[in-house]
Structure 1
Amino acid sequence: MILILLRVLSVMIFFVACQSEASGLSMNAALEILDNQNLEIKSADYDVRSAHTDIDIAKGYNFGSLDFTQNAMRSNDAGNAFGFKLSAREAAFGDFGFRDFSMSNPNILTIQPKDLNYPGYQNYFQSKLSYTLPLYTGGKLSGYGAIAEKMESIKRLDADQMKTEKRYELRKSYYDMALLQHSIEHMNVILGNIETLEKTTQMMVQEGYAKKVDLLEVQSKKVNVERALTELDANQKLLYHYISFLLNQLVSEIELPTTDYPISALSESEVFEDNIDLKKASAGLEIRDRMVDVAYAAFLPQIGAFAEASSADNTFLGDFTDHKAYAVGARLSWNIFNGGVDGAALEKARIEKLKTATKVELAKKGIALQYDKIRTEIESLNAQVKSLEKELELAYQIYKNYEGRYHEHLVSMSDVIIKQSQQIEKVLNLQMAKNQRNERIFALEKLSNGVK
């Protein structure tokens, strides 16, 4: 408990220190907070703790069961009354009806002793301690214990997968924010160019070198760019809301990555080694193997031992030591025939094992296919990004050229606006391509259970 409190305190101090930085919350600091504060990760950790208790339950059956029973009864039933006295070691010859016994009676065997058949009320208090222990179960208990351990390992893998998923979402949000910031910078440059063009056009209108409609076209394009900037700002706010949700606390400023391009060079062997789905499939196969052992245990004998100690009296705890008794023993049970149910259950367990083994192989091939697909998509998107970057650079130069030619009355304002629209289109297309590329890179990392 103390270690947990110290860990939480260290995280809080770490977060406050990071928040005090002028540059905002860094990605590494955010990832540390995520691991400790994200609610979905916490929920997955509770699942692991719950699965661990199942191991304790499965192992606990190996130690048997110790039970204490306290009976308190009152009865005038003949069997009960006589049994109570006998159990309490208080039975007397009179309880057998000797008062009605007469050697001179020729029908002595037909006499019904009244004291035995119609006893008075008898109190009975019994304290009993019983212990039962399974000695041999055909491997059933050990099988269940192994299955519980594997189930815990699967829950741990689920927790790791959840952490990987949330880290993926957080890192992607940081890089998305960097992309948005770069797009905003591009759009601000375009806005600045439009404002310069607007001032120039106003002067030209006043001097009679341009028409009023030219100024309206520039102002219309300026409004479009401002609207695009407003949308980009709104997307930034949404990303901050989502980052705050992931970290389970308010985040108003982050430190942007130095680049908007995450680099990942994971090999196929690394993906196969670390992929969580493959690990879970392998654990599931081991569970199926142990379930075959459990099903086979039905064909083997079950051996158990028991011991009990008790004391009884007609008053509570009366003459406890004098009336004590004990019993020890062992029991063997072996089902010889049950209509083939056990055989069918064993065959089903074997079939399920083969089915799971097939799924493991299928999962391996599926992961390999995903790896090849993502790698191909990354290569294609890299080419698109390089091409769009060159096209954007060219679009800037073309716009500048057309702006100068407009001042010389060689092209119309509509031509300038068209070139500027193409420039904006290239900015947005480049952002989209980079976003798709980053998403694929993060998908590759997630396939290998996170960044290395």
Structure 2
Amino acid sequence: MRGIGHWALGIGGSLRRGPAALLFVSSLLGTLSVQAQSYREIIRHIAETPAMQSAKLMERAAGEMASAAEGKNLPSIDLSVQGAWLKDTPEMILHFPMFPSQPLPMGKTRQFVGELRLSYPLFTGFAISAQIERSRLEAQRAKLKVQDLRRNLILNATQLYGAIEATEAALAAEREAKRATLSALKKAEGFYKHGLLPPADLYNIKAKVYDVEAAITQTESQKEQLLNQLSYLSGTTVHSIHGSIPLPDPSSRKRVKKLAYRYRSDIRVLQTLLRVDDAQIRLAESRYYPTVGVAAGLKRHGDTLALNGDGFTNADQSYLGVNVSWNLFNGGSDRHTVEAARYKKLSAASSLLDYRWRVATEIDNAFTELRALRSKFRSARMQVKAQEEYYKLTLGRFDNQLASADELSRSIADLARARARAAAIRSQIRVQRAKIWLLSGVKGFERKLGIAGR
């Protein structure tokens, strides 16, 4: 007598299988194609997605801005050439008490000035150093944002991968249910030919075959949609997957929290913001100090581009100068700016503390959810075992005309649902383990996964 066969899921993914269960596993492996990709391969592809490339380019832009800010701490050298054509000849009017006024030429209508100027901000009240520090921290913040984006993309990809794994297991269970239903239909047709089964029971089993086929079509459509989403997220076409999520059980909550506080890029972004606010305070306080600048210039003047004078003024007008500027009063604006920067830093510190508590709560909830999933999985395994035994009993009763075709069809459908539910919970456990490792930071996750980090 052919039946569905006996199999049971184990928490580690092991199977106690009979002949039909081996067929179930073979049908699952048969869905793989040459384009099947493992979890590790998909995670590696994420680093090259357009979203990641865009974030990396923004990181490079922030790095260039930091380099540009450092240039403000160096001398500036400027070269300029100016030319002017005056409408009238420059002249000076001499006035004599007893004679008419006499114009005296003082230059020519054509004037050229060439200058090579060197200037250096000798002291700016630490404003430039604060700007440089802020730009460096902004570049570091951009880098951390790239890492956090990658962590979130990996988390989304993990959830999709687990969902696809669950749909593949559901497909295998539904196909096995179809095979069992067709086997029951064949027996029912034999009983019907010998007048041992009413037409209603025969048509009921035929209807169940169509129900199973419709469920298979719907699950295949769901799997295709999930594969399309995973392809978009990973930046590569994913036709199918192979293998499960190969991550061990997470360490203790205390250890995961410690790793998160140390390596989580989003937490480090907030810590960097505190340092940015420190630099902003120093920048605001720089207004309390005078600014001192020095400049030197090689400057020549003339009525031609040779810059050899115009016969009236000296050709060489080189100079060395010092500029001191100090704002003594501006209505208290500087003081309010400093206070605003300080309050902003206090706000950032409070936000960091709140976020750390939020991360800790998320980790606690993730461990609680993992424990609940394991409990549900133990229940699901027992449910599978119970449904298998009930199916065997119902099949034997059906063969002996003690159970109706409708009862047999329901037992087949219940067994398929129990198997699909157990497989889905097992996938959720794997996804939850990966989520907890990601909650500790990408570094620990990649180390456990065995792939090179960025």
TM-score bracket relative to the smaller structure = 0.7 to 0.9
SS of residue matched to 2:306: coil
The corresponding residue for 1:331 is 323
Q: What amino acid is the match of 1:378?
A: L
Cα distance 1:209–1:373, how it changes in 2: closer, same or farther (>3 A)? same
Any residues of structure 2 matched to 1:49-448 within 5 Å, and which? 49-77=60-88, 81=90, 96=92, 106-107=97-98, 111-116=100-105, 122-257=109-244, 263-265=249-251, 267-319=256-308, 323-448=315-440
Deviation at 1:320, TM superposition (A): 7.4
CA distance, structure 2, for counterparts of residue 26 and residue 418 of structure 1: 36
SS of residue matched to 1:144: helix
Cα distance 1:276–1:120, how it changes in 2: closer, same or farther (>3 A)? closer
Q: What amino acid is the match of 2:250?
A: S
Q: What amino acid is the match of 2:40?
A: N
Which whole-Å deviations, capped at 9, do the CAs of 1:216-244 have from their partners, x for residues lacking one?
A: 11111111111111122223322332333
Which whole-Å deviations, capped at 9, do the CAs of 1:326-350 have from their partners, x for residues lacking one?
A: 1111111111111110111111111
Q: What amino acid is the match of 1:107?
A: M
Cα distance 1:353–1:409, how it changes in 2: closer, same or farther (>3 A)? same
The corresponding residue for 1:24 is 36
Deviation at 1:121, TM superposition (A): 6.2
Cα distance 1:367–1:106, how it changes in 2: closer, same or farther (>3 A)? closer
Alpha carbon RMSD of aligned pairs, Å?
2.5
Cα distance 1:232–1:263, how it changes in 2: closer, same or farther (>3 A)? farther
Contact 1:172/1:442 (<8 A) preserved: no
Contact 1:125/1:312 (<8 A) preserved: yes
CA distance, structure 1, for counterparts of residue 102 and residue 433 of structure 2: 95
Contact 1:174/1:256 (<8 A) preserved: no
Which whole-Å deviations, capped at 9, do the CAs of 1:291-341 have from their partners, x for residues lacking one?
A: 111111110111111111111211222437982321111111111111110
Quick check: 24-33 or 361-370, which moved more?
Answer: 24-33
Contact 1:305/1:331 (<8 A) preserved: yes
CA distance, structure 2, for counterparts of residue 308 and residue 268 of structure 1: 60
CA distance, structure 2, for counterparts of residue 181 and residue 154 of structure 1: 41
Which whole-Å deviations, capped at 9, do the CAs of 1:269-306 have from their partners, x for residues lacking one?
A: 22222222211111111111111111111101111111
Which whole-Å deviations, capped at 9, do the CAs of 1:101-154 have from their partners, x for residues lacking one?
A: 8xxx7535xx432235xx896101111122221011111111111111111111
Structure with greater proportional helix content: 1
SS of residue matched to 1:115: strand
Contact 1:191/1:225 (<8 A) preserved: yes
- The TM-score, its normalising length taken from structure 1, stands at 0.83
Which whole-Å deviations, capped at 9, do the CAs of 1:354-383 have from their partners, x for residues lacking one?
A: 111111111111111111111111111111
Structure 1: gaps of 5 or more residues: 1-20, 83-95
CA distance, structure 2, for counterparts of residue 419 and residue 155 of structure 1: 57
Deviation at 1:175, TM superposition (A): 3.2
Q: What amino acid is the match of 1:28?
A: R
Which whole-Å deviations, capped at 9, do the CAs of 1:38-79 have from their partners, x for residues lacking one?
A: 11111110011000011112111111322222111111456x
Cα distance 1:58–1:425, how it changes in 2: closer, same or farther (>3 A)? same
Aligned length: 406
SS of residue matched to 1:114: strand
SS of residue matched to 2:295: strand
Contact 2:35/2:238 (<8 A) preserved: no
Cα distance 1:216–1:197, how it changes in 2: closer, same or farther (>3 A)? same
Which whole-Å deviations, capped at 9, do the CAs of 1:169-226 have from their partners, x for residues lacking one?
A: 3344333333222222222221111111010000000011111111111111111111
Q: What amino acid is the match of 2:127?
A: K
SS of residue matched to 1:209: coil
CA distance, structure 2, for counterparts of residue 342 and residue 275 of structure 1: 36
CA distance, structure 2, for counterparts of residue 295 and residue 167 of structure 1: 40
CA distance, structure 2, for counterparts of residue 231 and residue 147 of structure 1: 54
